[in-house]
Structure 1
Amino acid sequence: MSKYDVLTIGNAIVDIISRCDDNFLSDNGIVKAAMNLIDAERAEALYAKMGPAVEASGGSAGNTAAGIANLGGKAAYFGKVAEDQLGEIFAHDIRAQGVYYKTKANGTFPPTARSMIFVTPDGERSMNTYLGACVEFGPEDVEADVVAEAKVTYFEGYLWDPPLAKQAIIDCARIAHEHGREMSMTLSDSFCVQRYRDEFLELMRSGTIDIVFANTQEVLALYETEDFEAALDKIADDCKIAAVTMSEKGAVIVKGDERIYVKATKIVELVDTTGAGDLFASGFLYAYTQGRSLEDCGKFGCLAAGVVIQQIGPRPSTSLPQAAKDAGLI
């Protein structure tokens, strides 16, 4: 028996979410629908210009862990915060979701990471992230017993930026595979892919990573092509399983010669796409660790993503099991 279904590893970030129009983005040099890394000075300047905002614990892998716990799965999380107010908020929130979290805080400097997320009327989110304490996550924060007792360990591509985190992730992959577990990652962002294409491909081709999550733009960027089908063929050769989301077109699950297409969940209103990919991963991994078929994994992923994009914030505020029950998945 495994103590955890999924261990997720990522940047522990508090999201500060505000609505704006496209002119605000252009006036302030914000790249739309991307994750822009910023320094402390830029963070303060953008925060001063924000309208009314909602603060919510986020971070890609943290959102995934919260979604898995919401579904009833056993989730754990590694991620670094500081001993400050935002760090206390993050730790409280993720534990309140039912996620195991004991990563030691880092002192008071650098401060806990925060991401200012500007949501335009079309629901797209543009993230401006100050990583702060996140970059201090390293091998000493790896709890080997937790990795060994998790069916799948999952990390976000964003975490590949800090050098110490790279070694921690490699250590986790070694421990996971030594105990017959699987390792998974999300490509996170097309800009992230462009920075680390060769390294991500090596992780996949070497067998360090078993399951890969990506969206259409990311998989095209990974293989430097505009041919989606060709990209799917290539990723099928490079990893055991790939789950590729296609926004309103749903998702495709790739395993060898298999291509399993899953329709997007019908929604009433698109409110905020923040966390859509994170929650897709949570639904998929929850179902995967429960032994469901790959098609069901895709359906759970699309369901969780469909729920979260109809609200403000990256973590579901309603019951995912009830939504799954209503959809006939359980």
Structure 2
Amino acid sequence: MVDISAYVDDAFIGQIGVAKGGRRIIDVQERAQLLEALDGSSYQVSAGGSLSNSIVGVARLGMANSSLTDSGPLRIGMLSVAGSDAQGAFHNAQMQQAGVQLLSSPCPGSATGTVIVMTTPDANRTFMSYLGSSQELQLTAEAEAAISSTRLLIIEGYLWEMQGATKAIGRAISLARGSGATIVLTTGDPGLVARHRQEFWEQLDSGSVDVLFANREEAEQLLGRAVAASQAALELGSMCSVAAITDGPNGSYISALGRLQSIPPFWREHPPMDTCGAGDAYTAGFLYGFLSGLDVASMGRFSARVASAVISRPGACLSAPEARQIVEQIPAIAEQHRHGAILAMADGLSSPIR
């Protein structure tokens, strides 16, 4: 997807027929009308989509670490469904510049999807998504070869909106399992989960998912009821090895092998400017921490810092300078958790036996 990001007021959101903070799928005519209505606004265009934001973040964190430690860069590939239009060429160029290898070619005559991201003064964001040409999700030979040798396969929940998703995702999981890879599933947004709840549960029930990412609203849609983020993490964590549930300003909860970790939010000096991409950034930080061998609590704290960097200014993707700054903090984050664990143990030893 290509993101078109603009700042609007609450009155504008009220006029376009979508709930504030929500997402609605639109056709090409509605997109043209909305862009015309935004004509007087200043907006920026960037390579986007939830998965793109996350893996660009992982790639930039990897490049930052490579420059600091002389280690080799991460090898990251993406099965892209960009169209053969100018927007698709722009998206693919941006991904390649970020160090992401594309594992498919545009379908001739196809149109790239776009997401109009509207941010209000309270840093909330509302999405209007044009999905582009109807393309069938298929695995190329290059993609199958990459999946067969990967350490980690990320499946973006938005894929369920594509034709052929069930077959292609099943094939990808089978190939990744054969190589011993870790399977990661992200849930996208609450509306998506509501529409494709059965598909998500089929993956969870079959034991196909190792790591699940969701926010509290998405977790509630999965579970079918209102629930605290901590409880959601425990319940969904019983279906996979790790479940990370974010809860906005309340931080996040991570259930790992039956143990719950509460991760506080990380705040910068200034209040958030734009929450678009916060969950994608959190996912990027967590996955990079996983690949770097951090413990679960340190992964969570690292993820909170990555998300904080993204929401502190306009734009949904981690920048290269931000990545370098955050990677430099890894030793301090790990030491902070180690010290906290020692204090917790000492407190436990001094407590009366019950």
How does the TM-score come out when normalised to structure 2?
0.85
Question: Secondary structure of 2:314's partner?
Answer: coil
1:281 to 283, 292, 300: 283
* Amino acid aligned to 1:154: I
Q: Is the 8 A contact 1:144 1:172 kept in 2?
A: yes
1:125-204 maps to which residues of 2 (within 5 A)? Answer: 125-133=125-133, 135-140=135-140, 143-204=143-204
Q: Is the 8 A contact 1:81 1:112 kept in 2?
A: yes
Q: Is the 8 A contact 2:103 2:142 kept in 1?
A: no
Counterparts in 2 of 1:279 and 1:141: CA distance versus 1, 3 Å: farther
Q: Is the 8 A contact 2:233 2:253 kept in 1?
A: no
d(CA) in 1 for partners of 2:237, 2:35: 42
Shift of 1:83: 1.6
Counterparts in 2 of 1:239 and 1:313: CA distance versus 1, 3 Å: same
- Residue 68 of structure 1: aligned partner: 58
- Residue 37 of structure 1: aligned partner: 25
* Structure (1 or 2) with the larger CA radius of gyration: 2
- Higher RCO by CA contacts (8 Å cutoff, separation 6 or greater): 1
Q: Is the 8 A contact 2:215 2:247 kept in 1?
A: yes
Of 311-320 and 282-291, more deviation after overlay is shown by 311-320
d(CA) in 2 for partners of 1:326, 1:133: 43
d(CA) in 1 for partners of 2:82, 2:9: 31
Identity value in percent = 26
Shift of 1:232: 2.9
Question: Secondary structure of 1:136's partner?
Answer: coil
- Residue 299 of structure 1: aligned partner: 301
RMSD value over aligned CA atoms?
A: 1.7
1:135-165 per-residue CA deviation (whole Å, 9 max, x = no partner) reads: 4332347711211222111121111111313
1:193-272 maps to which residues of 2 (within 5 A)? Answer: 193-228=193-228, 229-267=230-268, 268-272=270-274
Q: Is the 8 A contact 2:289 2:302 kept in 1?
A: yes
Q: Is the 8 A contact 2:210 2:240 kept in 1?
A: yes
- Residue 7 of structure 1: aligned partner: none
d(CA) in 2 for partners of 1:274, 1:191: 16
* Amino acid aligned to 2:327: A
Q: Is the 8 A contact 1:190 1:217 kept in 2?
A: yes
Q: Is the 8 A contact 1:81 1:133 kept in 2?
A: no
Of 241-250 and 224-233, more deviation after overlay is shown by 224-233
Q: Is the 8 A contact 2:136 2:163 kept in 1?
A: no
Q: Is the 8 A contact 1:157 1:187 kept in 2?
A: yes
Q: Is the 8 A contact 1:219 1:231 kept in 2?
A: yes
d(CA) in 2 for partners of 1:66, 1:188: 17
d(CA) in 1 for partners of 2:195, 2:84: 31
d(CA) in 2 for partners of 1:141, 1:192: 29
Q: Figure out how many residues of one structure are paired with residues of the other and give that number.
A: 317
- Residue 5 of structure 1: aligned partner: none
Question: Secondary structure of 1:154's partner?
Answer: strand
1:266-307 per-residue CA deviation (whole Å, 9 max, x = no partner) reads: 122311111111111111011111221111111221111111
Question: Secondary structure of 1:139's partner?
Answer: coil
d(CA) in 1 for partners of 2:109, 2:191: 30
d(CA) in 2 for partners of 1:293, 1:165: 33
* Amino acid aligned to 1:69: A
Runs of 4+ residues deviating >3 angstroms: 133-136, 139-142
d(CA) in 1 for partners of 2:31, 2:142: 29
1:325 to 311, 319, 328: 328
* Amino acid aligned to 2:42: P
Question: Secondary structure of 1:18's partner?
Answer: strand
How does the TM-score come out when normalised to structure 1?
0.91
- Residue 25 of structure 1: aligned partner: 13
